[in-house]
Amino acid sequence: MKIIINSSSMLPLYEQIIDQIKAQITAGCLKENDILPSVRTLAKELKISALTVKKAYDNLEQEGLTVTVHGKGTYVAAANPEQIREARRREVENELESAVEKGRGCGLTDEEIRELFELIMED
């Protein structure tokens, strides 16, 4: 499992960890019952606080993406196909929102953005 922390990002470190683990689960890189690195191991690897990693792992567990077995570790939870589909959909939605914001920031009208989207969809 590879996680890259961007210390200059406005996104908190624990959210960066969450997003990257979610992305690896939805992409199928991490599968059901795969074990995640221990909190201490990942913290040491990323050179960040163990509390930050713990917060990320706790959030992933609350979302139902991981399961923690005390004394054994944190594992990827059983895959719920609908949950994975919804996560992928949210990912696409977020990227589309970013593209629209970027287009508007460049002075494009909504109609011009729609035209670009239609052109892209034709390919």
Return the sign of the alpha-carbon dihedral for residues 48, 20, 94, 98: positive
pLDDT, one tens digit per residue, over 5-27 is: 999 999 999 999 999 998 898 88
- Look-up of token digits 């792992």: 57
Span 29-83, pLDDT tens digits: 999 999 999 999 999 999 999 999 999 999 999 988 999 999 999 999 987 777 7
Instruction: Tell me if 63 sits within 8 A of 17, measured CB to CB.
Output: no
For the chain, the residue count is 123
CB 57 within 8 A of CB 21: no
Residue 88 pLDDT greater than 90, yes or no? no
Confidence at residue 21, expressed as pLDDT on a 0 to 100 scale: 95
Name the band, by pLDDT with cuts 50, 70 and 90, for residue 84.
Answer: confident
Longest Cα–Cα distance in the chain: 56
Measured CA to CA, the distance from residue 107 to residue 78 in angstroms comes to 45
pLDDT, position 27: 84
